[in-house]
């Protein structure tokens, strides 16, 4: 597998974990750390240049998603790193910028999550949602819309699917690893 799409920035090189799948068309730059069983799908752009990106175990980042961060400054001394927990599904063409996501979250296709947002564990974000800066999304709820609104508590089937989606993607990326090796 060619790793020319995994690039250093100012001496910081993305750190991959065991059994990662990173599509050759995805680009990862700089201070990025991927845990075990992470999958990064075609055309993802992840730029850990002016701050750090951390992605937890079994999390998948689907096609065309963009991950970036905000630099440290006098009015924002820590800047905004991007932190994504375990068993998170990031759907196709999402934009995650300088936010913090817990565990077992589904980010629907085309969602935009802005700086300083905190998404607690076990949250479902509907397709096309926009999460404005510094919002906190509470554990156990479905959220949709632009700007995003809390809709209702998750059904049992939806809560179960959050974990199942991550499992599905681990299995799928293992198939892909079998193809490319
Ligand atoms: C939100 C979602 C979970 C559906 O939830 P639901 O409670 O079953 O919603 P329903 O389909 O019954 O629709 C209820 C209402 O919400 C609206 N709605 C559904 N999805 C919506 C969305 N993403 N954003 C805004 N409104 C949405 C429907 O139009 C409907 O509106 P109405 O009552 O005015 O007719 C689903 O539409 C969704 O966005 N899933 C994300 C899928 C995805 O992106 N997966 C990742 C890719 S792998």
**Residue 175: burial class (beta carbons within 10 Å; 0-12, 13-18, 19+):** exposed
- 151 CA: nearest ligand 1 atom: 7
- Percentage of the chain lying above the pLDDT 70 cut: 97
Domains of the chain: 6-180 (2.160.10.10)
Closest-CA residue to 174 (of 1, 29, 27, 38): 38
Per-residue pLDDT reduced to its tens digit, 35-64: 999 999 999 999 999 999 999 999 999 999
Per-residue pLDDT reduced to its tens digit, 137-165: 999 999 999 999 999 999 999 999 999 99
Ligand 1 centroid, distance to 142 Cα (angstroms) = 10
Tell the residue number behind the tokens 């990662």, with chain if given: 20
Which residues line the pocket of ligand 1, CB cutoff 6 A? 91-92, 108-109, 126-128, 144-145
Task: Assess whether pLDDT exceeds 80 at residue 181.
Answer: no
- Please report the pLDDT score of residue 4 as a whole number: 85
**Region 11-35 average pLDDT:** 98
Task: Assess whether pLDDT exceeds 60 at residue 2.
Answer: no
Rounded-to-integer distance, Cα 155 and Cα 140, Å:
9
Give yes or no for a contact between 132 and 115, defined as CB atoms under 8 angstroms apart: no
Whose C-alpha lies nearest to ligand 1, atom 9? 126
- CB within 8 A of 38, min separation 6: which ones? 16, 17, 20, 21, 55, 56, 57, 58, 59, 60, 61
Per-residue pLDDT reduced to its tens digit, 93-103: 999 999 999 99
Task: Assess whether pLDDT exceeds 60 at residue 3.
Answer: no
- Please report the pLDDT score of residue 66 as a whole number: 99
Task: Assess whether pLDDT exceeds 90 at residue 115.
Answer: yes
Task: Assess whether pLDDT exceeds 60 at residue 29.
Answer: yes
Ligand 1 centroid, distance to 126 Cα (angstroms) = 6
- What secondary structure letter does DSSP report for 87? S
Give yes or no for a contact between 84 and 96, defined as CB atoms under 8 angstroms apart: yes
Q: Count the Cβ atoms, other than its own, within 10 Å of residue 13.
A: 16
Rounded-to-integer distance, Cα 113 and Cα 99, Å:
7
* Residue 18 CA: distances (Å) to CA of 33, 37, 66, 149: 11, 6, 23, 37
């Amino acid at each position: 597998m060619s790793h020319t799409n995994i690039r250093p920035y100012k001496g910081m090189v993305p750190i991959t974990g065991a059994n990662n799948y990173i599509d050759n068309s995805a680009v990862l730059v700089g201070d990025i750390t991927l845990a075990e069983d992470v999958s990064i799908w075609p055309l993802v752009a992840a730029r850990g240049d002016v701050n750090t990106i951390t992605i937890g175990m079994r999390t998948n980042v689907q096609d065309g998603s963009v991950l970036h961060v905000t630099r440290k400054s006098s009015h924002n001394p820590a800047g905004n790193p991007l932190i994504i927990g375990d068993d998170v599904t990031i759907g196709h063409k999402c934009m995650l910028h300088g936010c913090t996501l817990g565990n077992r979250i589904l980010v629907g296709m085309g969602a935009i999550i802005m700086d300083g947002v905190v998404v607690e564990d076990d949250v479902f974000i509907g397709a096309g949602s926009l999460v404005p800066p510094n919002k906190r999304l509470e554990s156990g709820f479905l959220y949709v819309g632009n700007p995003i609104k809390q809709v209702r508590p998750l059904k049992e089937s939806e809560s179960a699917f959050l974990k199942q989606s991550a499992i599905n993607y681990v299995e799928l990326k293992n198939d892909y690893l079998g193809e490319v090796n």
